[in-house]
A = this chain, B = another copy of it.
């Protein structure tokens, strides 16, 4: 398995030499996961940040009452991992689970500093993609406050049409912060309006 999809993605932001691409390949791991398999488990220290080559993952928190709260889905060319746990090496607040058979490229906590030292322009690459992720996250906080559940659903559907098709409805409901019954009601309403 090659890291070519990751190189293609990185080369949209910065230009790696062949030598740098080789160094990168030597320090990351390409790994397959089955549907249902956990990549990160809440309570464990998260040792990896992951690039999704193929498949789909969900990142979610289980609260004290045992309820799941989905914070993010990741498909091809997206990233996943518990960033807070990864950077502080403290127990993860989130699980990352594959909801399809998936292929991920893993960046490891114990070699990422060596990667930054050997390929300093990766600092720029990760700065650029995390800026984008942070901006998206702030907008989501506001949508959760300011939009109705129906408008949040329509936003999700319009923004990520291909993701909605791939994900069970109860997970979409969790991502939107509503019950699956309420999502079902919203979808019926929308169908009637169409």
Contacts and interface: CB of A to CB of B under 8 A. Distances in A.
A110 interface: no
Given A134-B130, A134-B134, A146 B69 contact: yes
Nearest to A137: B137
A155 B140 CA distance: 20
Interface of A (DSSP majority class): helix
Contact of A123 (B88, B127, B142, B145): B127
25 contacts: A61-B142, A63-B147, A67-B146, A69-B142, A71-B142, A82-B135, A83-B131, A83-B138, A84-B135, A84-B136, A87-B135, A94-B138, A116-B124, A120-B123, A121-B123, A123-B123, A123-B127, A127-B127, A133-B134, A134-B134, A137-B138, A137-B141, A140-B141, A141-B144, A144-B145
Contacts of A121: 123
